[in-house]
């Protein structure tokens, strides 16, 4: 939002939970006032019991980006769902069939016994276009692609985004990050999360739905069902979120070159942080003068 006050920005929300209607507090969905100031896209797309895949998200985002650019504005993808961002930027090999567990177990055994290279060579022989388009150093992707190739499935090539991209990330010391996560868990339960979850449950959305397994939502449901105290719900929410944050950091450090902005314990809209972010953006962007 601070960058949007200095650049002609429209925001595309890259969050796998904010796309569900009725899930606002627990997902930290942008407020109505924020959306009134800066256009936000890819929020409130479906109900919690409707299927929505990474492929669905990428298709919509890939349409929106050129539309936003045609308006003379900057499309900014914001969020922590790494798979969405990676699929948009690098392309994604969309799975079109269920897993063949026997084939996958066989290939996993071959991987352990003989290493990755023989599997890569076999994939290159069976499906050279696919082998060329995936990360051949990634065992999981090689095994999945070979599983599907040997089964005769269609294997669509990954289509990377061809425009210019700058990836910015806020970096905080681990102790600061974890303290903020703990405080956020307490804030959620003190500011309406239980009422939000109660309303979702009354609407028929239960724990079997994937969106309802999000941090805070499953803990709130268990607490409302009499399974644990409020303090326990807060503690588990904080712990799960800390674990997720650790995985997020690992993901982003491995997936693509991210320009990290050191934030310490300062607010993300602190002028020096915003200035540094602007300096890291594409040279062709000319921001308004900072105060």
Residue range 77-136, pLDDT digits in tens: 999 888 888 888 887 655 444 556 778 888 888 888 888 888 988 888 777 767 766 777
Are 173 and 133 within one domain?
A: no
Are 129 and 245 within one domain?
A: no
Instruction: Decide if pLDDT at 212 tops 70.
Output: yes
Provide the percentage of residues in the chain whose pLDDT is more than 70.
89
Are 187 and 120 within one domain?
A: no
Instruction: Decide if pLDDT at 265 tops 70.
Output: yes
Domains identified in the chain, total number: 2
Indicate the pTM of the whole model.
0.76
Q: What is the pLDDT of residue 282?
A: 67
Which structural domain range is residue 228 located in? 3-90+162-280
Q: How far from 170 is each of 83, 111, 185, 236, 252, CA to CA, in Å?
A: 18, 37, 20, 25, 11
Q: What is the pLDDT of residue 123?
A: 85
Are 113 and 137 within one domain?
A: yes
Are 135 and 211 within one domain?
A: no
Are 171 and 61 within one domain?
A: yes
For position 11, which CATH number holds? 3.40.50.300
Are 79 and 180 within one domain?
A: yes
- Would 71 be classed as within a structural domain? yes
């Amino acid at each position: 939002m601070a960058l949007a006050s200095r650049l002609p920005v429209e925001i595309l929300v890259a969050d796998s939970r904010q796309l569900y209607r009725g899930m606002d507090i627990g997902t930290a969905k942008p407020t109505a006032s924020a959306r009134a100031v800066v256009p936000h896209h890819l929020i409130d797309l479906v109900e919690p019991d409707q299927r929505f895949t990474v492929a669905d998200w990428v298709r919509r985002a890939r349409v929106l980006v050129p539309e936003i650019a045609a308006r003379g504005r900057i499309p900014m993808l914001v969020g922590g769902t790494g798979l969405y961002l990676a699929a948009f930027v690098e392309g994604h090999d969309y799975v079109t069939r269920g897993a063949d567990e026997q084939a996958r177990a066989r290939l996993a055994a071959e991987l352990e016994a003989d290493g990755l290279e023989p599997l890569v060579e076999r994939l290159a022989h069976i499906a050279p276009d696919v082998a060329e388009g995936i990360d051949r150093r990634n065992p999981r992707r090689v095994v999945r692609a070979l599983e599907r190739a040997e089964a005769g499935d269609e294997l669509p090539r990954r289509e990377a985004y061809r425009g210019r991209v700058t990836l910015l990330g806020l970096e905080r010391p681990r102790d600061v990050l974890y303290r903020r996560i703990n405080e956020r868990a307490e804030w959620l339960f003190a500011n309406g999360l239980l009422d939000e979850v109660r309303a979702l449950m009354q609407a028929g959305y239960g724990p079997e739905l994937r969106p309802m397994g999000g941090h805070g939502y499953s803990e709130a449901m268990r607490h409302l069902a009499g399974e644990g105290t409020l303090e326990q719900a807060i503690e588990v929410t904080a712990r799960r979120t800390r674990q997720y944050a650790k995985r997020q950091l690992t993901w982003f450090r491995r997936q693509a070159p991210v320009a990290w902005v050191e934030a310490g314990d300062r607010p993300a809209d602190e002028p020096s942080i915003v200035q540094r972010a602007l300096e890291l953006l594409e040279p062709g962007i000319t921001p308004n003068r900072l105060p």
